[in-house]
Chains A and B, each alone.
Chain A
Amino acid sequence: MTDIILQLVQIRKSFGDTTVLDGLDLSVRRGEFITLLGPSGCGKTTTLRIIAGLEIPDSGQVILEGKDVTYDEPNKRNVNMVFQNYALFPHMNVEQNISYSLRLRRVDKATIRKTVEEALELVQLEGFEKRMPNELSGGQQQRVAIARAIVNQPAILLLDEPLGALDLQLRRQMQMELKRLQKRLGVTFIYITHDQEEALNMSDRIAVMRNGQFEQIGTPAEVYSRPKTSYVARFVGSANILTGTITGVNGKLARFENHNGIAYISAQDAPVTAGQKVTIAVRGEMVKLTPEYLDHPERPGHPEQPDHPQYPDQPEHPDHPEHLHHPEYPDHPKHIDRREHLEHLAGLRAVVKDKTFAGGVLQVTLELSDGSEMVSKLHGIDLPFAPGDRVIASWEPENAVLVDLEETA
């Protein structure tokens, strides 16, 4: 209990007719770096402003260090905010900006000088005391804004897209610096971004927001690999979302089927039963592509060919209905753990629609036979896929995640 520094309880807020926050709950631990991630207009800034006291919620409570501060003035709360436009006071130089909170508290001059010096050292801006804000670059202004916000030792630092206005390179660098600073100071950071990569890189926990509510709160690994809903899966790492029916369960594996083909998913985390309609999420980088002709039995090297070294007992074409209950079929108990088979047999039929190459990754857009789209991200340049090619898309069962399950537990 003691290590919960901030609690939001059923926060509601609307502006006129639009409900912006709709019963928000959040617990923030002392010293953690938590990121609010969500699309534009989902209420991230509003949440931060309510924590800072710049906005009063219609209902609900803000509990800071065990004390209800919902209706307290901003200057009575031990939290500081770093704005996206930095909001440095244009008529004060760097030193005056940073020392503003100390001067308000009438701290003596010597202490102020020392604190400002330390703060500038911390953000690597030694010697910039006398510069005016308009004589600083964007990155430098950003550092001053952070220095200004930390000198009066707030319990929580609120950062609203602090790197939003910086270019990519500087942004990467500042991400690391911010993280280092946060570790060093041990200050709780509540951070806003709509850049999912930034969120995954920096946060201890990520709270994915949607329409004024949190959809999932968890570590970056949890949110990334085990999204609870298709929304989270799509927003964090833009996963492929597929719907279909479970047509067979066998221990750890379940068979998933839809118009496009068959796939296997892990049934370990969530129990499913045959006949159940489900939604699954698969990340593009987990989707493997096989040219469809490889599946053709006549093809040299096809498992059915006697000289194939890897799949000596390959049955006939897997998509053929007659074979579904063949004892050789992979979900037959006999073969359940033979990954090679699953990988080769299962798959969704698709046509390559488009491919783009970016950052060492080939992104292939596929059109499934029911017209929906899917993305596969492959490493390497020299991949034999061209628009119009027929392919089979498949993945390892544990890389498919069941999402949008009704909460019954």
Chain B
Amino acid sequence: MTKTADSKVLKNRTIANVYLGLMIVLMYVPIVLVIIYSFNESKISSVWAGFSLKWYEELFRDRSMLDAAINSLILATVSSFLAAIIGTLAAVGMPKAKLITKGLIEYISTLPIMIPEIILGMVFLAFFTLLRLPFGMVTLTIAHTSFCIPYIYMLVKARLVGIPKSYAEAARGLGATEWNVFFDITLPLIMPAIVSGMLLSFAMSLDDVVISVFVTGVTTNTLPLKIYTQLKTGVTPKTNALCTLMFVITLVVLLLSSWVSRKSPITTGRRETHEKPSENRLSVDPVG
């Protein structure tokens, strides 16, 4: 009995290990290679000619590349902020709304996560053309904000579910208006979700190619677009350097995001339940 169970566990573990190995090889080996070759002295990617930072120097001398990088940073910052505001308001406000179509609205607003990006891009293109909006930073911002909203919305909503209704009710009883409750109770408690949603949005916006291709203007370039066009003219180690930088930025942002959400007061609040037995000590000394 135990033997078969053991061998089953062993088998499961083997499968898990194989899966993990494949994941690492397929996903991380290329990344590591890109990072290594970004420090390559040689112009030919496949030949190692010694360590050098010259591709990074060249990268920072490239005016158009820098412009694209700045565009990308502005775009990611602005659209993640806008998405944070809209997504949070939607998540907080939706439960209070008494609409029959509430379920439908919720479904629609999370749909962009499931729709293929290429379709979203085409939709944005058609929409902006219809509105006769000049393609450029504005259209990019609108598009990026829209595809970021669902992430913020879902994260904040999940966090809201974990907040007992009694917090707000207790506050109301103590004299708080609905606004007081939002700013004093709800907002601080959902802040970790908003921040991690924003960081996620930032990362998503920073590396978006597909949607950006459709909605960017002739003269506006974002970093991923720039790299994409470079690919057609052949990969130089300069591209490797750029990819490395972007990888580092994205990584930092995502690490920050998970760090912030781990620090939230609600998750740490679970300790209460584990501490219950220690109450006995109280009956001896009420002051503790």
Alpha-carbon distance A53/B178, docked complex (angstroms):
13
Contact B283 A170 (CB under 8 A): yes
A85 to chain B, nearest CB (A): 6
Q: Is the CB of B174 within 8 A of A152?
A: yes
What CA separation (Å) do A128 and B170 show in the bound complex? 21
Separation of A228 and B166 alpha carbons in the complex (Å): 36
Q: Determine whether B234 belongs to the interface, using a CB cutoff of 8 Å to chain A.
A: no
- How long is the Cα–Cα vector from A75 to B184 in the complex, in angstroms? 15
User: Complex formed: what's the CA distance from A392 to B265 in Å?
Assistant: 63
Specify which chain A residues have a CB less than 8 angstroms from the CB of B177 in the assembled complex.
73, 75
Chain A 168-204 interface mask (CB, 8 Å, partner B; 1/0): 0110010001000000000000000000000000000
Q: Does A148 contact B (CB under 8 A)?
A: yes
Task: Give complex CA distance A306, B170 in Å.
Answer: 74
Does B6 touch A at the CB level, under 8 Å? no
A134 touches B271 (CB 8 A): yes
Taken residue by residue from 111 to 128, chain A's Cβ proximity to chain B (1 for < 8 Å, 0 otherwise) reads as 000000000000011101
- Report B-chain residues with C-beta under 8 Å of the C-beta of A52: 169, 173
- B contact patch SS: helix
Query: Across the interface, do A87 and B282 meet the contact criterion of CB distance under 8 Å?
Result: no
Query: For residues 235 through 288 of chain B, which have their beta carbon under 8 Å from a beta carbon of chain A?
Result: 265-266, 268-269, 271-272, 275-276, 278-283, 286-288
B164 contacts chain A at the CB level, 8 A cutoff:
yes
How many residues of B are in contact with the other chain, CB < 8 A? 34
Let me know if B185 is at the binding interface, CB within 8 A: yes
**A338 contacts the other chain (Cβ, under 8 Å)?**
no
Q: Given contacts A100-B184, A126-B287, are A74 and B173 in contact (CB under 8 A)?
A: yes
Contact call A167/B279, Cβ cutoff below 8 A: yes
Q: Which of A125, A132, A134 has the most CB of B within 10 A?
A: A134
Interface flags, B36-70, vs A, CB<8A=1, else 0: 00000000000000000000000000000000000
Taking CB atoms, residues of chain A closer than 8 Å to B164 are: 85, 87
Q: Is the CB of A83 within 8 A of B169?
A: yes
* Interface assignment of B188: CB less than 8 Å from any CB of chain A: yes
Give the CA-CA distance A133 to B279 in the complex, in Å.
15
Interface residue ranges, B against A (CB under 8 Å): 164, 166-167, 169-177, 180, 184-185, 188-189, 265-266, 268-269, 271-272, 275-276, 278-283, 286-288
User: With contacts A100-B171, A104-B180 known, what are 11 further pairs, Cβ within 8 A?
Assistant: A53-B172, A75-B173, A80-B174, A87-B167, A101-B174, A104-B175, A125-B288, A137-B278, A139-B279, A152-B174, A169-B283
A-to-B contact residues, CB < 8 Å:
52-54, 73-75, 77, 79-81, 83, 85, 87, 89-91, 100-101, 104-105, 124-126, 128, 132-134, 137-141, 148-149, 152, 166-167, 169-170, 173, 177
